[in-house]
Amino acid sequence: MVRTTVRRFDVELVSRDAFRRYMAYRGQSARSLAAAAAHKGVPTSKATIGHLMSGHVKQTSPERAKAICEVLDVPVDALFVVKVSTVHRDVPSAVA
């Protein structure tokens, strides 16, 4: 086994309350926001939006955050902050 180190970029929701307020202001439900984000080419489910709204999930992909913010017509940095994670994985070594 070989241990590899990978840097992963995620974005974290700054405030679930602010997120819900932006959704209400734009007249978006979890279902309509998920559909609009998916229409922009980023697979998004109603459950994903619901988990962000509830605070159960705080992180998502940068692409999804961008699509959500485009639908809500808000700058990405108003709702999300970039998080860099270092992930260590054990992968099988190549047999020569």
At residue 96, the pLDDT reads 58
Domain that holds residue 72: 2-91
Considering only CA atoms, which of 34, 32, 54 is closest in space to residue 44?
A: 34
- Residue 63 included in any domain: yes
At residue 95, the pLDDT reads 67
- Residue 48 included in any domain: yes
pTM over 0.85: no
CA distances from 88 to 70, 74, 82, 95 (A): 33, 34, 20, 21
Residue that wins the pLDDT comparison between 95 and 19: 19
> For position 77, which CATH number holds?
1.10.260.40
- Residue 96 included in any domain: no
Kindly indicate the confidence band of residue 9, based on its pLDDT and cuts at 50, 70 and 90: confident
- Residue 7 included in any domain: yes
Tens digit of each residue's pLDDT (9 = 90 or more) over 22-65: 999 999 999 999 999 999 999 999 999 999 999 999 999 999 99
- Residue 69 included in any domain: yes
The count of structural domains within the chain is 1
Place of tokens 């180190």: 5
